[in-house]
A and B are shown apart, each in its own frame.
Chain A
Amino acid sequence: MSHDPRPDGRLRLAAALAVSLAAAATRSTTALAVLAGLAVLAALWLIVSAERSPGPLLRRMAVVSVFVLWIWLTVAVDWRTLSADPAGVALAWQMTLRIESIALTALLLLGRMDGIDLARAAVGLGLPRGLGSLLAVTVRQIAVLEETGQRLRRAMRARAYRPRFSRRTLRVSAQQVAWLIIHASLRAERMALGLKARGLGAMDWPVRPASGWRSLPRSEWAVLAGVSAALAVTLTLTSIWDRMHR
């Protein structure tokens, strides 16, 4: 059996889920502000220590922030009087902190994992193996589909197709999804036959059973411990703070 050096990300996944659930549960704006602040500090530290490049992080956070913008426009603005609604502003602010802290924490903890890593981590945390296999095979199928899509687009160009704003383009665009499904279905069948010929079933696709918890590296335990401690301290202290300032 070959040595597989891929890291087991289940503890990071557990940490990300813990932060998501804690942030979803708390109604304290103070706690959410602290969580968001800690996530930003962690991001800055990783960037400064050159473990992460800021570009991809900022691009991903920009995606999340578009939704946040819509929340402010719909929740914080009273469109009848075209003025800020104080209760709406408070709610929008709370939602913003919640969304940004969860998204940034997930990015920092899971951003370097690919679909296969995630499948293994999730199976390690108890996700049914069938779902883990489906996740892993889907990652492979995405690559097949993307490649198929590129070939289809090249073939269409070679046969004088040029997208314009026209009924022909709308029709062909709608048909492209069908072509993709048809071509990919046929490739999927050949792939399944190929697996069978090699004595493998689809469910054997590379989601190996999780290794023992004790074999996980100390650095991963440290990440989980650190995140858990930060969560516990934040929620406790901010709860006290909120009670004192009510």
Chain B
Amino acid sequence: MMLQMESVVVRRAGRAVLQGIDLQLEEGERVAVVGAVGAGKSTLLLAAAGLLDHESGTLGLLGQRCRTEDDFAPLRGPVGLLFQDPDDQLLGPTVLEDIEFGPLNLGWDAARAHDAADAALAQVGLAQLHDRPVHELSGGEKRLVALAGLLVMAPRLLLLDEPTVGLDERTAAQVVEVLRASGVSMLIATHDPRCVERLATRSAVLQDGRLQPAAPP
């Protein structure tokens, strides 16, 4: 079981945004969570990654029960989170240095991190950008670089917050293709029907703080 949530409740600013989430994601699945703006999709992903505390319920990642930061921290390489705004995620001065950030945190040596970052950049089709300052990238390029920063750590589960929002048709297709080709299990928060149609193996609707299963696409 890649992700398991049982009766998870999450509050933000005193309000119960998630009011008892039940979700199970098996290996190989790509589950899309759709819902209106403000439904709590981002909150769901942040809680799954352990970046927001859940008030009650149980949460399991990669078969391990997770409650505290000490439980989540060792899983942050195998579990990758793509933020909705790539500017929130890109830290390094240049593209390659940004992608190397995660592997270096995992204790990889500089040479291994460098080679892996090169490979991840090629995987998303942006090998030519490796010395480019991050802030000079277009929105689509930033999204792909952020994705490379997750893929470099060979994740087993990806949590994706609106991976195609704000992208043109071509770049969105590129992102979807990279994700499909990766073979990684994923939970995708999206309101983009293209993303659901081309990527998801099943979908669920987030409404009033709860998840309702939807019919397979």
Contacts and interface: CB of A to CB of B under 8 A. Distances in A.
A and B form one complex: yes
A156 B104 CA distance: 12
Interface string B77-95: 1001101000111110100
Interface string B134-159: 01000000000000010001000000
Q: How large is the interface on B (under 10, 10 to 19, 20 to 34, 35 or more residues)?
A: 20 to 34
B76 A158 contact: yes
B49 interface: yes
Nearest to A156: B91
B105 interface: yes
B91 A155 contact: yes
A186 interface: yes
Interface stretch (A11-19, A34-42, A159-167): A159-167
A182 B81 CA distance: 23
A179 B94 CA distance: 12
A158 B93 contact: no
Given A168-B104, A168-B105, A160 B153 contact: yes
Contact of A160 (B51, B90, B102): B102
B106 interface: yes
B77 A158 contact: no
A140 interface: no
Nearest to B81: A158
Contact of B91 (A152, A160, A162, A168): A152
A158 B105 contact: no
Contacts of A155: 83, 88-91
A179 B51 CA distance: 20
Q: Is the interface of A mostly helix, strand, loop or mixed?
A: helix
5 contacts: A155-B88, A157-B51, A159-B102, A160-B76, A160-B153
Interface string A137-179: 0000000000000011011111111100000100000000011
Nearest to A154: B51
Nearest to B134: A182
A244 B55 CA distance: 70
B91 A158 contact: no
B78 to A, nearest CB: 9
Given A168-B104, A186-B135, A157 B91 contact: no
A159 B149 contact: yes
Most chain B beta-carbon neighbours within 10 Å: one of A154, A158, A179, A182: A158
B188 to A, nearest CB: 16
Contacts of A159: 76, 89, 91, 101-102, 105, 149
A242 to B, nearest CB: 58
B135 A158 contact: no
Nearest 4 Cβ contacts at the A-B interface: A160-B76, A160-B105, A159-B102, A161-B105
Contacts of A182: 93, 135
A192 to B, nearest CB: 15
Contact of B105 (A154, A162, A179, A183): A162
Contacts of B93: 178, 182
Nearest to A161: B105
Interface in B51-77: 51, 73, 76-77
A28 B76 CA distance: 63
Nearest to B98: A159
Interface in B101-153: 101-102, 104-106, 135, 149, 153
A203 B81 CA distance: 40
